[in-house]
Amino acid sequence: MAGGLARRVAMVAEARAANPGAVYIDLGGQGVQPAPRPLIARALAALEPAAVGAGPDDLLELAPWADLPLTSLTPPTTGPAPPASRVVEAGGVKVAVLSVAFGPLTTRELADQAATAIAARRAEGCAVAVLLSHLSATSTERLVDRLPAADRPHLVALATDADEPGDPYEKLGATWVPLAHKGRSLATVRLVPAADGWAVEVEQRLVDEGPVDPEVQAWVDAYHAAQAVTAVAASPSPYPRPSACLPCHEPAVTAWRGHAHGRAVATLEAAGRLTPDCLPCHDERYRREQVRSAPPDAGVECATCHGGLAAHLADSATPTTPATDCLTCHTPEHSPAWDAPRYCAAVTAVCAPG
């Protein structure tokens, strides 16, 4: 939803141009929803990754990712397991890449497999080990702590549920890089030879602005166009619509229809995103009934922010109740620049009586 696929491809191309010999390693964990999996796999292939760590959702259905260089110490739900590790070469240095995710194996079993894989790759000449982890930070620390000192990874990339990447830190002889969820961040890692091994330098940024790859963007747009919900509800609404509020609150309803929330569906239409993923936050009727509203009240409505409308319409002395769940839609992912106090002041100005 943050538009990361096309931007990520462009950002990785820029990073490669600036760092000859660099390789792209994807943390994985992209297959949360079944519908976009083929699109995501196609975009990942365009990134030409050297390795992709299969996350717990990816392991549910490996077929879309079959042509990618997957790796996982966690066995998949069905089908053959991907390699336990991958060897990639960056700047003339051999790097062993491993991935762990939640599954049937215990942390101890994963640690035993990781130690075996790292030791084997070290014997093949790998100077660096990278662990891609979809476990919690605590579980990952337990796993790494169980490894012999010689077989511990130099870099641990953590999949998190955070909307912002966390600051890198040092622990158990490794550099830990917490990455924002749903592929929202990109980390550039430089390994610099040092007297006692390797110095690790990390730069991170969100994939939320900058140029996009036009070819990948065309794939994304085509996907959303195919997912678009075109049918509009013809039946009467089972809940009070803004037209029911007009007799007593005409100035407020008129102002709201010109407000960004009143135009929320038109905004989606202009962006080509009239999809089941986006409509619940932009169209009140779709949120309630999975059918689109008809203009002029297609968008966020009175009933979105005011509870008890039916009782209020039956008896105007009965007050409505204010919404308390704005953050359901205004998440950092969907509304990264959302300012709650400013928003509330703007809404009050629009809906104030008179």
- pLDDT score, position 116: 95
- Express as a percent the part of the chain with pLDDT over 70: 97
pLDDT in tens, 49-75: 999 999 888 888 888 888 999 999 999
In this predicted model, what pLDDT tens digit does every residue of 209-226 receive, in sequence order? 889 999 999 999 999 999
- Give 27-49 pLDDT, tens digit per residue: 988 767 788 888 989 999 999 99
Residue 101's pLDDT band, with cuts at 50, 70 and 90, is very high
Question: What was the pLDDT predicted at 125?
Answer: 95
pLDDT category at 177 given cuts 50, 70, 90 is very high
Q: Is the pTM of this model over 0.85?
A: no
Position 261 scores a pLDDT of 87
Average pLDDT over residues 91-113: 94
Give the torsion through C-alpha atoms of 204, 12, 59, 116, to 10 deg.
Answer: -70
* Residue 197, CA distances (Å) to 15, 93, 110, 120, 240 in order: 25, 13, 25, 19, 67
State the architecture of 4-214 in CATH terms. 4-Layer Sandwich (3.60)
Query: Strands (DSSP E) along the chain, which ranges?
Result: 25-26, 51-53, 70-71, 85-90, 93-100, 128-133, 155-159, 169-171, 174-179, 185-194, 197-206, 306-307, 321-322
Query: What pLDDT is recorded for position 17?
Result: 93
Q: Which residues of 260-284 are buried (b: 16+ CB within 10 A; e: fewer)?
A: ebbbbbeebeeeebbbeebbebbbb
302-311 long-range contacts (CB < 8 A, ≥24 apart) are: 302/240, 302/241, 302/242, 302/245, 302/253, 302/256, 303/239, 303/240, 303/241, 304/261, 305/347, 309/239, 309/240, 309/244, 309/245, 310/239, 310/240
Identify whether the C-beta of residue 97 lies closer than 8 Å to the C-beta of residue 86: yes
* pLDDT (average), residues 289-301: 85
Flag whether pLDDT at 354 surpasses 70. no
Tell me the domain boundaries of the chain.
4-214, 229-351
Q: What is the identity of the amino acid at 334?
A: H
Q: Give the DSSP H/E element, type plus range, for residue 233.
A: none
> Which span out of 129-133, 147-151, 204-208, 257-261 was modeled with the highest average pLDDT?
129-133
